[in-house]
A and B are shown apart, each in its own frame.
Chain A
Amino acid sequence: MNTYAKFGALVAVIIGVLVWLAMGGISDSKTYYKTIAELGQMGDQAKGKRLRVGGDVQAGSIIRNGAEVSFVMHQESKTLKVVYSGIDPLPDTFKDGAQALADGKLGPDGVFQANKIQAKCASKYEAKPQLKKNANRASM
């Protein structure tokens, strides 16, 4: 076997292994983005799938109960009750009115069981929306 064939075979083996790992990684961790409205329409399909739902945290809805935190997310007119019981602490940006992304699964009772919460404070890098509107393009 000449050198290039040997080299090629090794490359093929490495790439094959990596592709196999990647496939496994994808099926293990794929998460579907859904809006709260779509979640309502999914019915049985929602069961067992890892989902990511985004919305605003309703003011005053955050309740801490031991290691568990529950809150209500709303998007347009729809709302969703979320219970978070993950290990990582909630981000500091998670507070009333923040935009939050919850990863987890939809429970049979319609409560979203989240194991990861990401939150973006509206003012993190950008001006608050009303300033943006007023200032037109200026503060974008």
Chain B
Amino acid sequence: MENIGALAILLAFCFAVYAVIGSLVGKYRKNPFLVISAERAVYSIWVLLTIASGILIYSLEKGDFRLGYVAAHTDASMSSVYKFTAWWGGQEGSLLLWAWLLATYSAVVVFMNRRKLRDMMPWVTAVLMITETFFLILIAFVFSPFQILIAGRGNIVEGMGKGLNPLLQYWTMVIHPPMLYLGYVGFTVPFAFAIASLITKQPGDSWIHTTRRWTIVTWLFQSTGILLGQGWAYAVLGWGGYWAWDPVENASLLPWITATAFLHSVMMQEKKGMMKVWNMVLISATFFLCIFGTFLTRSGVVSSVHAFAQSPIGTYFVVFLAIGIAATIYLILDRLSYLKSEMHLESVVSRESSFMFNNLILLASCFAVLWGTLFPVISEAVTGEKISVDAPFFNRINVPIGLGLLFLTGVGPLIAWRRSSVESLRRAFFWPSIAGVVVMIALAIFGVYEHPFALVSFGLCMFVTATIFAEFWKGASAIRAKSGIGLIPATIELTHRNTRRYGGYLVHMGIVFMFIGYTGAAFNKDTTKEVTPGGSFQLGHYTLRFVDMLKGENDNYVWQKLVVEASRGGTPIGTMEPERRLYKSSQQPTSEVAIRRRINEDLYLNFAGVSTDNQRAVIQAYIFPLVTWIWIGFWVLAVGTLVCLIPSKVRLSYARTQVIGVAQANAPVEK
């Protein structure tokens, strides 16, 4: 069985090498048959890797503990869902997942473009397959998922397997890694198109049009992955945080930032023919940051709580990254003349300039996060001392950047192309600014002035919300006036006419909601108390009474549970039952927090432990204002992104606009 799997991977490797050579030789010898055979090799790789993955999953499910991978990541008592997730639970399996996803994407790309872009496709195939080859080298020769525990060395005793860490046995953890991988791997596709377009000197921006949906879908996967990680940390880890600037978290954020910048700056290329070099740099940076993120979680370069154990895998990644980055830089420099801008920046107060500032600060944030993540490595190289920087560094730089971005979210979409007159600025931003200022004054009166950043953040949230509503209102009432339908159908009609624009507004709205949630963190309250049964304590306006401690046991774990009655201002609001478990197979304790989620604030209880004399329970209680808005924001963002993917009802030409100044006001569908 495992031999078939290993053989499938080996064959896939050979096919990948063949696909690279076949498509390139085919292109330059002008032999279409060779190109087509290379494309068929891509399909075959998908079939082979599907077989290999199938065999691995089968072994995991069946509990074939002869395999090192199965023994290390599952045990007999695990449910079949978690056995399945062990596919990506460890080094080798997750590399196989990478390779399989890339094979899937590649097959889809090749199929969708089988009659299109014939000039460029051989190179697209080649770039995709070079990346595939790299991952197949890893799993075929270095980290094979089908390695057998050699019986002669006496470890058949490990007959039951090691199991999956119970902390990871949680529903979001089932989909979080594949979501992130879908995101990581997906950026290979736009990157491949970009490179192919550069090499073959394509006229126009066909690579951008072809990959626009890819990029958006991939971006959504990545956003989902990151948010699921946050949701998991919040609900499982017991400290109520959702982001700790851990190197691995940063690794997932970095390509997300550059991808976000890319999604915005391609609009400049489509509409104005500007920032062509920049877009090449951004998509390449995104791709390499994805590879870098995969590398960072595996190499042990930066110490992290999430990271896989140290392994020699780092060297392979460094070599791949070094060659890839050098080749890309050479290619971009060599083709600079082909990437010339078609227009120039005319004014600092213009849509163009707002896009540039958006990109500038996103990149600054990306650079700061990268710098902070690699600080131990850099400082050790420079001063010989390993120094790390912590959350305060990241927050201090990213909070102002976030607020700047939020401001641009409101300003960017409404400001005119080329240049804006004072009159048009006043018309677009007068009422939103008033709304923002009113919110800030009102909150300051209620005592928020102690947190200036929070105050500014809420003000900006209001400002952006007002601009977005104004846009929908303006467009929808124009349609209603013309056709006489109701406001809601008119809004839907409006969105359908230009899904990309109004979907984009929805995404922005989601971001605003998330900012509201993140800003709430400025008002967190917490307390740690040791209480005896019957005792009670106070947190904010909640009174928490510790009623009882229960104990029990099942096949999987031993548990201890607290019964806590919560009340607010004398009115009981329910019982909460934080729990601690000790998993038998791994001897791993976990805490199951109790969360009372409400739209305004979450009450969060963690059973931290029992005092050494076994008499008192240690309870950590937290109030997290507005956290729910982060998850609401995510759903809005997801819906908005999906709306962007629906084809617009009114076919828009992507011709360069020649709209001057303020003429946009009564033509909202023209964008």
Interface residues of A (CB under 8 A from B): 3-4, 6-7, 10-11, 14-15, 17-18, 21-22, 24-26, 28-33, 52, 54, 63-67, 87-93, 95, 101, 103, 118-121, 123-128, 131, 134-140
Contact = CB atoms under 8 A, between A and B. Distances in A.
Chain B interface mostly:
mixed
Q: Indicate the member of A52, A120, A126 with the most B CB atoms within 10 Å.
A: A126
A32 B150 CA distance: 42
B400 A88 contact: no
Residue from B307, B376, B396 having most chain A Cβ neighbours under 10 A: B396
Given A120-B305, A126-B90, A33 B68 contact: no
B263 interface: no
Given A14-B364, A67-B528, A131-B71, A28 B392 contact: yes
Contacts of A91: 237-238, 305
B394 interface: yes
Contacts, number: 181
Contacts of A95: 587-589
A135 B73 CA distance: 14
B390 A29 contact: yes
Contact of A140 (B309, B353, B587): B309
Contact of B608 (A21, A89, A136): A89
B442 interface: no
A11 B587 CA distance: 54
B611 interface: yes
B311 A7 contact: no
Interface centre among A33, A123, A125 (most CB of B within 10 A): A125
Nearest to B593: A89
A15 B356 CA distance: 13
Contacts of A127: 68, 71-72, 162
B388 A138 contact: no
A30 B389 contact: yes
Contacts of B610: 64
Contact of B345 (A7, A33, A131, A140): A7
B390 A31 contact: yes
A22 B356 contact: no
10 contacts: A3-B347, A29-B393, A32-B386, A32-B387, A125-B165, A125-B309, A135-B72, A136-B153, A137-B147, A139-B149
Contacts of B348: 3, 6-7, 10
Nearest to B348: A6
A39 to B, nearest CB: 13
Given A7-B348, A25-B397, A33-B376, 17 more contacts: A3-B348, A10-B357, A26-B375, A29-B389, A29-B392, A30-B389, A32-B387, A91-B238, A92-B588, A123-B162, A125-B90, A125-B91, A125-B308, A126-B308, A131-B162, A137-B147, A140-B311
A14 B500 CA distance: 30
Contacts of B239: 88-89
Nearest to A140: B311
A97 to B, nearest CB: 9
Contacts of B611: 64-66
Contacts of A92: 167, 237-238, 588-591
